[in-house]
Structure 1
């Protein structure tokens, strides 16, 4: 935390922006192995929300690492810092009144818990996209698993770096091919509708 700073409270705050937008803001935190379908499903959720006239922003792992987190590698310490920064940015987007979708492997429970702690009660919705490792390896859209198996990539989640499965995610969605990505995304939208975020 920065020293010698004081939070400045502005007259226009979150509830004004939520009222203007006609929605409750929140953070949908998509977590799962590489290749589990996090980005695909988050993108489909955003498309559906956009079609409903809702204001959203999707933060994707690769995209964030192209800019703000381009200085970070994939050591445990860098992964932790990556998630810390994304959590702080997501908090700002939720305060802006947006339904924020963050799609990151975020392999450690403690880091996901730290993001949850940043948010107000009920604002953090953990969405575990559950696909078995062998399914993810079969998909391997970027060829990363094969490179990790060949020893070309170190600290790859699921191979030589752990993924800690969520213990109490708000949404635990299986994406092993038994349902289409559109059906999985539909469950997320229905969750938001039932809880009156939209």
Structure 2
């Protein structure tokens, strides 16, 4: 618990210096969408593409984080809020290290996504809405979660009996039903290049 005796320790090496060394601008790609929408798949493809371009990046996947840091949390509304709070704080530290960070979480509540955005400097938070119709998500259903939710075996399942707040103005709107995974990744990386977060020549692709 933070107390009055807890102060922020100023480090000798600044975020700007780390970014300059890496030849990129740190930012947070916040992937949000329904279960089965393709968040992790697209985020992984983007991370691989950034790596191939010589960028310094890291992906924080929802399932992976719940194996350790957030392993004590469930899936009710209160735990979902805490899940997002923790990961946004971790992301902030990674950005301070000069990295391009990706988070792939359902993050269903717009208020939580807004809180994560507010922790960062203007322009550093990039909301990536992985827009996939629920009918397609259910067809994919890689973990069989929709089937269990429809049968009442899973409670508080987003899109079934728990709310998902659709992003109103995401920086990047990816419609996976119309694009391949490679095309989705290219759309996101091109955005980063256009906004000056990364620099690369077409010959590097």
Alpha-carbon shift at residue 179 of structure 1 (Å) = 1.1
Name the CA distance, whole Å, in 1 between partners of 2:182 and 2:87: 26
Question: Under a length normalisation based on structure 2, what TM-score does the superposition of the two structures give?
Answer: 0.95
* Correspondence 1:1-150 to 2 at 5 A: 2-3=2-3, 4-150=5-151
Matched residue SS, 2:28 = strand
Please give the TM-score of this superposition, normalised by the length of structure 1: 0.98
Query: How much does 1:65 deviate?
Result: 0.4
- The answer to whether the aligner puts 1:189 opposite 2:189 as a matched pair is yes
* Matches of 1:84 and 1:147, distance apart in 2: 27
Report the 3-state secondary structure (helix = DSSP H, G, I; strand = E; otherwise coil) of the residue aligned with 2:91.
helix
1: distance between equivalents of 2:98 and 2:169?
26
Q: Secondary structure at the match of 1:115?
A: helix
- 2:67 and 2:9 map into 1 onto residues whose CA distance is 31
CA deviation after TM superposition for structure 1 residue 11, in Å: 1.3
Q: Distance in 2 between matches of 1:142 and 1:131?
A: 17
Aligned length: 197
1:20 Cα deviation after fit: 1.1
Superposed CA offset, 1:12-40 (max 9, x none): 01011111111111000000000100000
Q: Determine the C-alpha separation between the residues in 1 that align with 2:6 and 2:165.
A: 36
List, as ranges, runs of 4+ consecutive aligned residues in structure 1 with deviation greater than 4 Å.
none
Q: Which residue of 2 aligns with 1:161?
A: 162
Unaligned runs of 5+ in 1: none
Deviation, 1:136, is: 0.3
What 5-or-longer segments of structure 2 have no aligned partner?
199-205
Out of 16-25 and 115-124, give the one that drifted further: 16-25
CA deviations on 1:169-198 (whole Å, 9 max, x unpaired) are 10111111x210110111000000001111
